[in-house]
């Protein structure tokens, strides 16, 4: 075959191949369209609701006491430093006289040497007996003087009559002058004797008074001496615990020297510093919750026992005194009463929350939903198609105080609350979860019992107060 027919045949072959390729390609495209038309639409092809899902809380007034926060350092209401009431030698210090041990009122802490004091008691008792004997003798002497005075008065009366008769007789010259003089001398002697006896009788009451005073003084000395003997037995002044012990057996102590310190842990007082503005609302009897984070968190409850009458102008604060009554376990021994666990101990620094029970109802929201002074609300609105929808609205609130407590019927398990005023009304819906990225006007979906509810707010809240009822699309 010549060269030219070969080229025509080759060109024809290429054309046939190209035609076949085009036919096959067109059939494949047609087939893929048929398959695509019969295939179910993919999930990605469906429309996606981009509105974020949020959970809300309906704001309702609750009875919430006004809370004031402060701080203070605990101290015991009763602290006694047991001192020596006599100068003596410490004979005995019982084994349980140790710092930290519980003590009962009257429990012996020390025994002092009382031998010299007992000897003093005996000596004073002897002096009292001697004075009482003098008083008894004085009374006998007084009775004798009374008898002698009576006799002297009779003698004076007799001598006076004799003298008067002698004078009458002498008037008629019947008696001599010497006779009259003798009668006069006898009268004078009788009168002098009477005067002497009367002087002695009159001095008897004064002597009795002196002896009586001496006896009273000796009896007082005896009472003091006996008390000093008793003071050698040093006891605890009240139920409490030994905070410190200062002396050992064998030491000599002086009058007034400290021996030990006893503290009563059953009544602990905390002077709490509060803002001066709290003075208009706090009162005696208000509840106080004390907390301490020293090592481990502890909580104690007390009541305001008294309020300082002045405020501190420099710090603009006032002081209330919270009193905590607790089982201090003062029973002697090693049982449960001897443990200090859980007690509010003197010297511990605590934070205080004073709850003023004024009976007012206030609005509460979880503290975590307050951003500065703003919260997010869900209100009724419209979407782009003009259909009802739920949208975000930011409002400003005033935080009055914070509360650490459960609110039954509001939000189960929530304890940290902010008590607010202004900007909120009862029935408002506050966003409590899903808050990230929300701005004013943003359309949202509401969660109801874990189900996505896309409709607008209808204002109805279930019993838990955390999920809204809405319209399903």
Per residue in 334-379, pLDDT tens?
343 445 668 898 999 999 989 887 667 888 889 888 988 888 888 8
Q: Which residues contact 179 (CB under 8 A, 6 or more apart)?
A: 166, 169, 170
Query: For the whole model, what pTM was predicted?
Result: 0.55
234, pLDDT greater than 70: yes
- Name the pLDDT band for 468 (thresholds 50, 70, 90): very low
Once rounded to an integer, what is the mean pLDDT over residues 269-275?
Answer: 94
DSSP string, 72-120: EE-EEEEEEEEE-SS-EEEEE--TT--TT-EE-TT-EEEEE--HHHHHH
Greater confidence, 277 or 3? 277
| 269 close to 321: Cβ distance less than 8 angstroms | yes
Other beta carbons less than 10 A from residue 382's beta carbon: 12
249, pLDDT greater than 80: yes
- Name the pLDDT band for 38 (thresholds 50, 70, 90): low
Q: What is the rounded distance in angstroms from the CA atom of residue 447 to the CA atom of residue 42?
A: 27
- 357 Cα distance to chain centroid: 18
pLDDT, mean over the chain: 80
pLDDT in tens, 40-92: 555 544 456 678 888 888 888 887 778 888 999 999 989 999 999 999 999 99
pLDDT in tens, 98-140: 998 999 999 999 999 999 999 999 999 999 999 999 888 888 8
Return the residue matching tokens 């509840």. 287
Q: Which two tokens stand for residue 202?
A: 């009159």
pLDDT at 303: 94
Half-sphere exposure of 150 (CA within 13 A, CB side): 6
Portion of the chain with pLDDT greater than 90, in percent: 32
DSSP string, 346-413: TT-EEEEEEEE----EEEEEEGGG-BTTEEEEEEEEE-TTS-EEEEEEEEE-EEEEEEES--TTT-TT
pLDDT at 263: 94
DSSP string, 134-190: HHHHHHHHHHHHHHHHHHHHHHHHHHHHHHHHHHHHHHTT-S-HHHHHHHHHHHHHH
Q: What is the rounded distance in angstroms from the CA atom of residue 242 to the CA atom of residue 96?
A: 10
- Name the pLDDT band for 16 (thresholds 50, 70, 90): low
- Name the pLDDT band for 177 (thresholds 50, 70, 90): confident
Once rounded to an integer, what is the mean pLDDT over residues 256-280?
Answer: 92
Q: Which residues contact 275 (CB under 8 A, 6 or more apart)?
A: 68, 70, 316, 317, 318
pLDDT at 261: 95
| 429 close to 57: Cβ distance less than 8 angstroms | yes
- Tell me phi and psi for residue 293, to 5 degrees: -110, 20
Q: Which residues contact 449 (CB under 8 A, 6 or more apart)?
A: 462, 467
Once rounded to an integer, what is the mean pLDDT over residues 156-170?
Answer: 80
What region does 342 belong to: left with phi over 0, alpha with psi -120 to 50, or beta?
left
Pick from 394, 357, 96, 87: nearest CA to 245: 96
E-state strands within 219-360? 233-235, 240-245, 252-253, 258-275, 287-292, 298-312, 317-325, 349-356
Other beta carbons less than 10 A from residue 428's beta carbon: 21
Once rounded to an integer, what is the mean pLDDT over residues 231-236?
Answer: 96
Q: What Rg do the C-alpha atoms of the chain give, in angstroms?
A: 55
Q: Which residues contact 355 (CB under 8 A, 6 or more apart)?
A: 65, 66, 67, 286, 287, 288, 289
244, pLDDT greater than 60: yes
Q: What is the rounded distance in angstroms from the CA atom of residue 330 to the CA atom of residue 338?
A: 7
Q: What is the rounded distance in angstroms from the CA atom of residue 66 to the CA atom of residue 273?
A: 16
pLDDT at 164: 79
- Name the pLDDT band for 277 (thresholds 50, 70, 90): confident
1, pLDDT greater than 60: no
């Amino acid at each position: 075959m010549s060269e030219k027919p070969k080229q025509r045949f080759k060109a024809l072959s290429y054309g046939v191949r190209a035609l076949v390729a085009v036919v096959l390609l067109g059939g494949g495209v047609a087939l893929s369209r048929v398959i695509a038309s019969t295939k179910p639409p993919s999930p990605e092809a469906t429309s996606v609701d981009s509105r974020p899902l949020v959970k809300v809380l309906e704001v309702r007034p609750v009875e919430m006491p006004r809370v004031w926060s402060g701080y203070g350092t605990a101290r015991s209401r009763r602290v006694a430093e047991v001192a020596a009431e006599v100068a003596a030698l410490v004979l005995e210090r019982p084994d349980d006289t140790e710092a930290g041990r519980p003590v009962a009122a009257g429990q012996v802490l020390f025994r002092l040497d009382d031998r010299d004091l007992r000897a003093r008691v005996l000596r004073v008792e002897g002096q009292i007996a001697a004075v009482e004997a003098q008083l008894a003798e004085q009374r006998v002497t007084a009775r004798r003087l009374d008898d002698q005075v009576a006799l002297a008065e009779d003698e004076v009366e007799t001598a006076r009559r004799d003298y008067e008769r002698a004078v009458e007789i002498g008037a008629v010259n019947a008696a001599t002058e010497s006779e009259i003089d003798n009668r006069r001398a006898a009268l004078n002697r009788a009168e002098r004797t009477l005067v002497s006896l009367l002087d002695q009788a009159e001095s008897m009451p004064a002597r009795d008074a002196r002896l009586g005073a001496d006896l009273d003084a000796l009896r007082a000395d005896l009472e003091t001496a006996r008390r000093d003997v008793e003071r050698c037995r040093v006891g605890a002044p009240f139920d409490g615990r030994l905070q410190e012990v200062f002396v050992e057996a064998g030491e000599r102590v002086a009058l007034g020297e400290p021996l030990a310190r006893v503290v009563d842990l059953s009544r602990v007082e905390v002077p709490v510093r509060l803002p001066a503005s709290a003075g208009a609302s706090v009162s005696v009897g208000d509840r106080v919750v004390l907390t301490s984070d020293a090592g481990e968190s502890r909580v104690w409850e007390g009541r305001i026992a008294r309020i300082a009458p002045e405020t501190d102008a420099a710090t603009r604060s006032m002081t209330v005194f919270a009193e905590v009554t607790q089982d201090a376990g003062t029973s002697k021994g090693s049982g449960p009463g001897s443990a200090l666990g859980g007690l509010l101990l003197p010297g511990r620094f605590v934070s205080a929350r004073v709850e003023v029970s004024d009976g007012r109802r206030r609005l509460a929201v979880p503290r975590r939903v307050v951003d500065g002074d703003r919260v997010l609300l869900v209100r009724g609105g419209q979407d782009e198609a003009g259909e009802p929808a739920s949208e975000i609205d930011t409002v400003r609130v005033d935080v009055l105080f914070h509360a650490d407590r459960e609110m039954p019927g509001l939000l189960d398990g929530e304890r940290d609350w902010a008590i607010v005023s202004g900007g909120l009304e009862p029935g408002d819906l506050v966003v409590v979860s899903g808050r990230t990225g929300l701005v004013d006007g943003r359309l949202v979906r509401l969660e109801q019992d874990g189900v996505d509810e896309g409709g607008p707010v209808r204002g109805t809240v279930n019993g838990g107060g955390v999920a809204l009822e809405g319209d399903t699309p």
